[in-house]
Structure 1
Amino acid sequence: MTTQPNNSIRQRLKKPLWLLLLLCVASWLTFLILDRIWPLPVESFEQRHFAQVVVDKDGLPLRAFADDNGVWRYPTTVDQVSPLYIEALINYEDRYFYRHFGINPFSIVRAAWQRLTEGRYVSGASTLTMQVARIMQNHDKTLRGKVGQMFRALQLEWHYSKTEILNYYLNYAPFGGPLEGVEAAAHAYLGKPAAQLSHAEAALLAVMPQAPSLYRPDRYPERAQQARDKVLNRLAAYKVWSQQTVQEARQETVYAQYKTQPMTAALLARQLRGQYPDRSLIQTTIDRDLQTELEWLAKDYAENSGEALSVAVMVVDNESMAVTAYLGSADFFSDSRAGQVDMIQAVRSPGSTLKPFIYGLALDQGLIHSQSLLFDVPTSFDGYRPHNFSEYFSGPVSASEALLRSLNMPAVQLLDAIGPEPFYASMHNAGLNLQLPGQAQPNLSMALGGGGVNMAELMQVFSALGRQGQAGFLRYLPEQQLVERPLLSDGAAWIVQDILAQGHLKKRLYHDDLTGSRDLAFKTGTSYGGRDAWAIGVNSAYTIGVWVGRPDGAFVSDNTGRLAAVPLLRQVHGMLPKNTESNPPPPSVQLTTICWPLGTAINLQKPGDCHRKKQAYTLNNMTPPTRHDGLINPLQKPRLTVTLNEKGERVTPQCHDGQTRQQQITVWPAVLEPWLPQRWHREQLLPEFAEDCQLWHNQNRLEIVGIHPDATLYPEAGSLQLPSIELKVAGSTGQHYWFLNDQLIRNHQSTVQLDNLTPGHYQLRVIDQSAQQASLDFQVAM
């Protein structure tokens, strides 16, 4: 009896169910057909190029470059955005985003009912997918336009995952003006990446696309704050965020600046954009806080230094070789200082900055130790006659003193011993591409700034002094691998760094904090005409480079490394964390007592050979003897073999034919005698000549002739014009080096003309090619 009604009910329901199924199938087929006829216009997204943004090591923006249409749009993904923003966005805009199929029927019904009952829309019906559809293809605000938008939303859900749809929204949602995407908005309004948003900031950016022009926080902060609070209230009501969290977020005042174009490390950003044109986001190793401080410092320093001057500064972390600060100019926006010329990449003369590596390679080759006796005397190297910056010479100097004082002659002497070609090859292998003028081959002028380098490569080789002799190649991007090249042994690098950090430079440079703590070893350099002033500092933690000059290469008065670059190096060093690491010598370095003039260890010399003791750092217990090759006549070596008669008097075969004996005596090279105390002159150290050899010896002695010793010169009678005199030398051979009051006269002849003498005391001295020397004192009076 009861089965018939049930069968009747099933029969009555069967037909509508079939109709519903047919309707679904027909709708689905219709959708597939329409999807084929009107495919998604994804090319509208593909044609919208992203802006390029260069960020620091923490993702903070340094410089950005808009797309071809002037739109600022930075690429991002769900994983790269703060989870707070995703929570705020979904729970405010589309709570059922992960459950619906592109459109939310319940929201549509609700919106329609509100429109009928209240005459206006109280809440919207658009899902995030529908908003992406509208961004992809704008629709009219009509029923037809709304239907088209929903169709596109269904297509998006059919072809893409929820994450992909959300990524589209994150990248292309409007945020006012030329800003699109949450990443661009976070950088422009808040100065930070979207990954670092606070609760309040996340709520603000979640609501902005609803009315991007009305909710701009830089123009309408009060209106933007009200909209933000509306989001916060809803998140509290939905229990997404706690009441306490929301309350704290509401306390944050909305304040923002509109900065679409940050310009920190602008020159580096320009360089990297050229190297990586296809990257939308370029992350660097730069520390934005340090970079910003140094840019203000550099600008102020240049403005106080003179017109048209620029500066360049670079800071490198020695452990990783990451570039943490890069200032290619003093002021990027200054035309008068050529601010858009990158002086870190510019090829300039290095001045004396390469000298530490000459000494380091000489240490490794066993040519010197830290206190080797070197010769700061006028010398010709096959016609090349360098001279010191001061035009004065110091005679006997240690390797340490010569490097600290940046004396030219000892450096050229050592480079001549190493060989210009091997030195050039060593520097090239370590990353320094020294550019020589024209078709020139490696030569001795490299010791004094002959050639061109850029700061970036100079920093690479200097890093070796703080990295146990390993030169590191600069890293600008975190993903770049560390590349190292051997330049010096760890012992040679330690000795050179110790020399450059020695404290007695304090009085010369007046920078106690640079030298007193020995925390920073540094070398200065000055190119010809003051065009380039360098100061490169290094310790185990950092390498710091400073350049001061004019980008156009013009002459700059008083622009020396010591006066112009060291003060800025001092300030940069003061901004960095203090290096607390100890720097003990490696096992290959020993402290050894050596003796001058032979230069070897004291235990290898006879007591009479040791004229002056010094404490030297040596490598592998080697104490190489004093070098004299290329500087003095072989007869002027530090150890002489003299012929003595039976009385112990000195004789020669020319003046004595009796019984003789040979004896070795340690003397100072004769070329150094003008700078030595009288007790170390050869005449004091060698036995007297025998009486029958005195006349022969005196006849061959060097002598200045032209005026009597200790003469006083006056103007001619009736004249106020001071005299001019011509002097010549007798008993000499080869080229001559004349000195007037210790200043070199550039005249290599056997005669010298002295003009325009002012009243005072004068000493004239001459040294010939065989290292003989003579001096003459005279006065000029009115």
Structure 2
Amino acid sequence: MKLISYIKHHKIKSATIAVLLIAYYFCLPHHLFSDPTSTVIASKDNELLGALIADDGQWRFPVNDSVPEKFKQCIVHFEDEYFYKHPGFNPVSIVKALKENLSSGHVKRGGSTLTQQVIRLSRKGKSRTYFEKVIELILATRLEFRASKDEILAHYASHAPFGGNVVGLDAAAWRYFNRPAKDLSWSESATLAVLPNAPSLIYPGKNQERLLKKRNRLLKKLLTKGVIDSLTYNLSVVESLPQKPYPLPQIAPHLLQRITQTHKGSYVATTLNKTLQEDINAIVAQHHKLLKQNEIHNMAVLVLEVNTKNVLAYVGNSPTDRTHQNQVDIINKPRSTGSILKPFLYAAMLDAGDLLPNTLVADVPTQFGNYNPENFNKEFDGAVPSSKALSRSLNVPSVKLLQKFGLDRFHHYLKDLNLKDIRYNANHYGLSLILGGAESNLWDLSKSYMNMASTLNHYSESSSEYFKDEFIEPSFFYSEKSSKDEKQQETIIFDAASIYLTFESLKNVNRPEGDENWEFYDDSKQIAWKTGTSFGFRDAWSIGITKDYVVGVWVGNADGEGRPGLVGVQTAAPVMFDVFDLLPNSDWFAKPYDEMSEVSICSESGFRANPYCENATLEYIQKSGLKTAPCPYHVLMHLDASETYQVNTSCEDVTTIKNKSWFVLPPLMAHYYKRKNPFYKVLPPRREDCYSNEQNVIDFIYPKANSTIFLPKDFDGTTNELILKLAHSKPEEDVFWYLDNTFLGTTKDIHDLAILPEEGEHIIYVLDADGNEAKRKITITN
């Protein structure tokens, strides 16, 4: 009541007081400091990995709310011994300073508290006048109302100048002592505590004697006040001073570059393992020294943890020079994929039920319009199990499988994997999509294999269920935690069995030279891995998968220059295996029995066994594979008693006919298959006195349809002949050859014929004694 009465009788005075109080309340800006700060990244254990200088050219780390106890004691005893007792200003110090300055005729002593110094730092550029001092005093008392003493001290430690372009305790600790502020000794903390007092005059490398005296006086004061004991004091005063600033650590510079794009000026705790990152940096440097001798200058390595989907190591480029684009982060840059997409096709066909793990696929010369895929070794196997076609990275079977599966269907799987650099529709890429006709990046590829491994792990660990949010992006932010709680029975992209069978095939890829006998060692790592080499030897890939880790490696030149020997298994794979040697051993993936069925499989063809498959074994396949056709290559043949000829009831009594299962491949497949498989038995010929409606099969081995052929000349000017090659299901049959309706000759058993056609277009025509025929159109150029 007295207050209300006073206000009524003293309205002007009360209004003035109210205005002053409101002005006082709002006089302090909400944000004291708006200076740009450095982007700082740290490991998952809070160890510094790197920092980027602030936009104003200062090494100024983001504000740290924690001030180490040693520095806290040093700065308080040096700058403001009554800091924890005064309300923002110290009247005794102000009076003493005012008397001394007036008597000397100039500013000789300051009476500012740490709180006032925080205000002065926030009002940088203001002249040091008595009027400015009054403003600082008012703002200091206001700051004392708003913030705790420790918060004020944190403001000071984060924004005080420490000489040169170093601002703040954290940056100073790294620049001058190459360690975090919390690990500084008493001597080092004292050195930094005296620097802000005169940063332009006293800094490491200059005025060492004056700096030493200031530091030792502060240490003496700490001894006198009982903050440190005599032993600590004696050891501290003999410590040397820093001579020059250290460069800040740059352990993951390309990740720092990437994080700066979205978290500029922030302190970011990452998921990286500092020790692993440093060790991989050393591996990359070592391999770079060897590869640059072949003018191969760039390399990228990414290590992902399957369980957490965190990035454990991130090496965006090799330690090359600016000329070879060492600043470029290649991990997220699109590059030609080479063969690295083949496992996705294999898994997709297994998942769709279009393939079994070891189904025989054709490996013969093939032409798709103007497209003629070739294997890396320029050879053909005739027929090869699909798992070996994958583990050996054979090109021709992969293209044939893609054609069978469907380009659009496979493209849909790749889009589901979120391979962001595959931007065009399926027809844009064509069948070359599987051999490097598309582009992707190390991040997306490694992510996809990581998510496949995670799918398999979670299926085995749960009640045979899938996590809805399985195929997600890896994270290098420590604060991010992936949510994988929602489960479902339906597959996400690939079912667990298809992934398991794909990894089983990739586990059998031949390792680089020197590591071929890995399986004979007790501590050997079981790794599913795949390499890739782009056309023109421009990109070399190697990605390895275990139950716990994925390691992705790219090697090449950032400018796209190809180099001989830039092959995945020779350049990228050795780096990958060196990285795996740093990682703990992992158990192999558990077999997902609930997603598999045990069926009888034909040992020779890999198809589901038909009644004529004599060698069949029980094997686990993916459930979707139950709809695949039975073996088409085992047939029941009717032979004479000696098994020398094929017979039938038109020429042999039914009681003497011998029925026998026979493994028969189409002629062109058989032609190449028997070269690599000496135990392959061709069908016996049909006995001449036996009637048959069966037609023999003829197929050209060379030339390919609609091909243009150049006939080279010898040194003497003689034009080399064109060698025609034919496969016939009954090699013993006579085959008649024609060129543009002109008879050329007859072949038997070995159907090869040398001709010397004139320049221009020609039709090659062949005919056997039973009237079976085949044609090829070719163009000859000289």
User: Which TM-score band (shorter chain)?
Assistant: 0.7 to 0.9
Shift of 1:557: 1.3
The alpha-carbon distance between structure 1 residues 125 and 296, as it changes in their structure 2 partners (threshold 3 A), is same
Match of 1:331 among 313, 319, 322: 319
2:161/2:199 contact within 8 Å kept: yes
Shift of 1:562: 1.1
2:652 maps to 1:638: no
Aligned to 2:621: 618
Shift of 1:34: 11
Match of 1:597 among 590, 599, 604: 604
Aligned to 1:500: 506
1:418-433 correspondence runs (5 A)? 418-433=405-420
In the alignment, the residues of structure 1 paired with residue 626 and residue 277 of structure 2 have an alpha-carbon distance, to the nearest angstrom, of: 46
Shift of 1:565: 1.1
SS at match of 1:329: coil
Listed as ranges, the gaps of 5+ residues in structure 2 are: 1-12, 457-469, 485-490, 704-712, 731-736, 738-750, 758-765, 775-782
Query: Structure 2 length normalisation: TM-score?
Result: 0.74
Aligned to 1:692: 689
2:710 maps to 1:724: no
SS at match of 1:336: helix
Q: Which amino acid aligns with 2:51?
A: A
1:54/1:64 contact within 8 Å kept: yes
In the alignment, the residues of structure 2 paired with residue 615 and residue 385 of structure 1 have an alpha-carbon distance, to the nearest angstrom, of: 38
Shift of 1:478: 1.7
The alpha-carbon distance between structure 1 residues 509 and 351, as it changes in their structure 2 partners (threshold 3 A), is farther
In the alignment, the residues of structure 1 paired with residue 252 and residue 23 of structure 2 have an alpha-carbon distance, to the nearest angstrom, of: 49
1:468-507 correspondence runs (5 A)? 468-469=455-456, 470-482=470-482, 486-502=492-508, 505-506=510-511
Aligned to 1:681: 681
SS at match of 1:528: coil
1:351/1:527 contact within 8 Å kept: yes
CA deviation digits over 1:175-207, x for unaligned, max 9? 111222222223333344445545444333333
In the alignment, the residues of structure 1 paired with residue 370 and residue 403 of structure 2 have an alpha-carbon distance, to the nearest angstrom, of: 13
CA deviation digits over 1:259-297, x for unaligned, max 9? 4665443232222222234x5323322334433443344
Match of 1:281 among 259, 262, 267: 267
2:385/2:606 contact within 8 Å kept: no
Aligned to 2:389: 402
Shift of 1:361: 2.5
Shift of 1:524: 0.5
Aligned to 1:205: 192
Match of 1:609 among 577, 589, 613: 613
1:184-583 correspondence runs (5 A)? 184-217=171-204, 224=211, 227-241=214-228, 253-255=240-242, 258-259=245-246, 262-277=249-264, 279-306=265-292, 307=295, 309-331=297-319, 334-380=321-367, 384-435=371-422, 440-441=427-428, 443-469=430-456, 470-482=470-482, 486-502=492-508, 505-506=510-511, 510=515, 517-574=524-581, 576-581=582-587, 583=589
Match of 1:134 among 100, 113, 120: 120
In the alignment, the residues of structure 2 paired with residue 662 and residue 486 of structure 1 have an alpha-carbon distance, to the nearest angstrom, of: 52
The alpha-carbon distance between structure 1 residues 181 and 457, as it changes in their structure 2 partners (threshold 3 A), is same
1:63-82 correspondence runs (5 A)? 63-78=50-65, 80-82=66-68
State which drifts further: 165-174 or 557-566.
165-174
SS at match of 1:185: helix
CA deviation digits over 1:98-118, x for unaligned, max 9? 321222223345667889999
Shift of 1:391: 1.2
SS at match of 1:530: coil
The alpha-carbon distance between structure 1 residues 479 and 624, as it changes in their structure 2 partners (threshold 3 A), is same
SS at match of 2:526: coil
1:432/1:453 contact within 8 Å kept: yes
State which drifts further: 136-145 or 267-276.
136-145
Q: Which amino acid aligns with 1:549?
A: G
CA deviation digits over 1:544-581, x for unaligned, max 9? 1111111121221121101111122232223x232244
CA deviation digits over 1:642-682, x for unaligned, max 9? 678999974689x8899999978442322432222565334
In the alignment, the residues of structure 1 paired with residue 39 and residue 401 of structure 2 have an alpha-carbon distance, to the nearest angstrom, of: 50
SS at match of 1:269: helix
State which drifts further: 126-135 or 45-54.
45-54
The alpha-carbon distance between structure 1 residues 689 and 43, as it changes in their structure 2 partners (threshold 3 A), is closer
1:534/1:561 contact within 8 Å kept: yes
In the alignment, the residues of structure 2 paired with residue 704 and residue 214 of structure 1 have an alpha-carbon distance, to the nearest angstrom, of: 86
Aligned to 1:95: 81
Structural RMSD (CA): 4.9
In the alignment, the residues of structure 1 paired with residue 496 and residue 578 of structure 2 have an alpha-carbon distance, to the nearest angstrom, of: 29
The alpha-carbon distance between structure 1 residues 238 and 626, as it changes in their structure 2 partners (threshold 3 A), is farther
The alpha-carbon distance between structure 1 residues 559 and 647, as it changes in their structure 2 partners (threshold 3 A), is closer
In the alignment, the residues of structure 1 paired with residue 683 and residue 133 of structure 2 have an alpha-carbon distance, to the nearest angstrom, of: 111
Query: Structure 1 length normalisation: TM-score?
Result: 0.74
In the alignment, the residues of structure 2 paired with residue 72 and residue 480 of structure 1 have an alpha-carbon distance, to the nearest angstrom, of: 27
Q: Which amino acid aligns with 1:202?
A: S
Shift of 1:387: 1.9
CA deviation digits over 1:145-199, x for unaligned, max 9? 6556545534544565545533431232111112222222233333444455454
SS at match of 1:482: coil
The alignment-based identity, stated in percent, is 28
Shift of 1:322: 1.6
Q: Which amino acid aligns with 2:614?
A: C
Q: Which amino acid aligns with 1:499?
A: S
In the alignment, the residues of structure 1 paired with residue 438 and residue 41 of structure 2 have an alpha-carbon distance, to the nearest angstrom, of: 34
In the alignment, the residues of structure 1 paired with residue 232 and residue 755 of structure 2 have an alpha-carbon distance, to the nearest angstrom, of: 91
State which drifts further: 300-309 or 524-533.
300-309
Count of aligned positions = 692
SS at match of 1:505: coil
2:190/2:215 contact within 8 Å kept: yes
1:590/1:621 contact within 8 Å kept: no
Aligned to 2:665: 669
In the alignment, the residues of structure 2 paired with residue 471 and residue 658 of structure 1 have an alpha-carbon distance, to the nearest angstrom, of: 65
The alpha-carbon distance between structure 1 residues 228 and 563, as it changes in their structure 2 partners (threshold 3 A), is same
In the alignment, the residues of structure 2 paired with residue 150 and residue 698 of structure 1 have an alpha-carbon distance, to the nearest angstrom, of: 108
In the alignment, the residues of structure 1 paired with residue 398 and residue 696 of structure 2 have an alpha-carbon distance, to the nearest angstrom, of: 37
The alpha-carbon distance between structure 1 residues 220 and 477, as it changes in their structure 2 partners (threshold 3 A), is farther
Q: Which amino acid aligns with 1:363?
A: L
Aligned to 1:11: none
1:310/1:548 contact within 8 Å kept: yes
Match of 1:86 among 54, 72, 79: 72
The alpha-carbon distance between structure 1 residues 39 and 179, as it changes in their structure 2 partners (threshold 3 A), is farther
The alpha-carbon distance between structure 1 residues 432 and 162, as it changes in their structure 2 partners (threshold 3 A), is same
SS at match of 1:524: strand
1:268/1:326 contact within 8 Å kept: yes
1:291/1:326 contact within 8 Å kept: yes
CA deviation digits over 1:6-31, x for unaligned, max 9? xxxxxxxxxxxxxxxxxxxx9x9899
In the alignment, the residues of structure 2 paired with residue 56 and residue 219 of structure 1 have an alpha-carbon distance, to the nearest angstrom, of: 34
Q: Which amino acid aligns with 2:383?
A: P
Q: Which amino acid aligns with 2:558?
A: P
2:126/2:132 contact within 8 Å kept: yes
In the alignment, the residues of structure 1 paired with residue 590 and residue 34 of structure 2 have an alpha-carbon distance, to the nearest angstrom, of: 60
Aligned to 1:18: none
SS at match of 1:609: coil
In the alignment, the residues of structure 1 paired with residue 103 and residue 694 of structure 2 have an alpha-carbon distance, to the nearest angstrom, of: 130
1:598/1:609 contact within 8 Å kept: no
Aligned to 1:779: none
Shift of 1:428: 2.2
Listed as ranges, the gaps of 5+ residues in structure 1 are: 1-25, 629-636, 707-715, 737-748, 756-765, 775-782
Shift of 1:622: 6.1
SS at match of 1:275: helix
